[in-house]
């Protein structure tokens, strides 16, 4: 039961931190563009992420006419769940899950994100959305190959695929200094 609660609290805090990260991004962009920014809701806009979330949940659902509606609405949920699996792997003070092959699970979860994109594009039955999903898939696959090669180079220094072991090795000497050419 405690295990489930720690994972649930972790995921709730991830959602809240994403909201405040978008607030930081909006404030930063408003300062660049010489605008006042989102500071109208409460003290310096601290309740703005919650009002954004409320407006997101109260929006009207638009269903394309010839789409496969069930698959069209389920695919983003599958993509969200898939991205939340990655946060459970991350080594915190309390670990939700500690895999011996955590790196391989991380790379597999990154590669599964492609399937939700292609099914979302296909289920809308629009040629433009299919082309957009194919474009985003080609971009994600191209960055995924280089990212996996970079990550595998660092894990070859650690001699383990465990993310906690990776964290413990770089506790005293950061890999930032090894990364310089």
Cα–Cα dist 90/44, whole Å: 31
87/32 same-domain check: no
pTM over 0.75: no
75/44 same-domain check: no
Domain of 37 in residue numbering reads as: 1-59
9/95 same-domain check: no
Which parts of the chain sit beneath pLDDT 50? none
- Looking at the 3D structure of the chain, how many domains does it have? 2
Start-to-end C-alpha separation, the chain: 47
What are the phi and psi torsion angles at 172 (to 5°)?
Answer: -95, -40
**Reduced to 3 states, what is the DSSP secondary structure of residue 114?**
helix
**pLDDT tens-place string over residues 109-149:** 888 888 888 898 899 888 898 899 999 888 888 888 888 88
DSSP string, 52-111: HHHHHHTSPP---TTS-HHHHHHHHHHHHHHHHHHHHHS--SS-S---TTHHHHHHHHHH
85/156 same-domain check: yes
Query: Average pLDDT of the chain?
Result: 81
69/55 same-domain check: no
- Reference 161, options 104, 96, 87, 76; nearest CA is 104
pLDDT at 135: 92
47/80 same-domain check: no
pLDDT at 95: 65
30/79 same-domain check: no
């Amino acid at each position: 039961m405690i295990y489930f609660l720690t994972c649930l609290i972790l995921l709730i805090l991830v959602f809240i931190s994403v909201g405040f990260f978008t607030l930081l991004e909006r404030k930063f962009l408003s300062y660049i563009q010489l605008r006042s920014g989102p500071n109208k809701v409460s003290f310096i806009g601290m309740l703005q992420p919650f009002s954004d979330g409320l407006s997101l949940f109260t929006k009207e659902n638009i269903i394309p006419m010839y789409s496969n509606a069930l698959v069209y609405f389920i695919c983003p949920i599958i993509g969200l769940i898939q991205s939340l699996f990655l946060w459970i792997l991350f080594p915190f003070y309390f670990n939700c899950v500690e895999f011996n092959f955590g790196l391989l699970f991380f790379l597999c979860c990154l590669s599964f994100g492609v399937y939700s994109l292609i099914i979302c594009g296909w289920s809308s039955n629009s040629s433009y959305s299919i082309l957009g999903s194919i474009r985003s898939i080609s971009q994600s696959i191209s960055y995924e190959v280089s990212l996996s090669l970079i990550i595998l180079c660092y894990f070859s220094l650690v001699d383990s695929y465990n993310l906690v072991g990776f964290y413990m090795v770089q506790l005293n000497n950061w890999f930032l200094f090894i990364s310089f050419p």
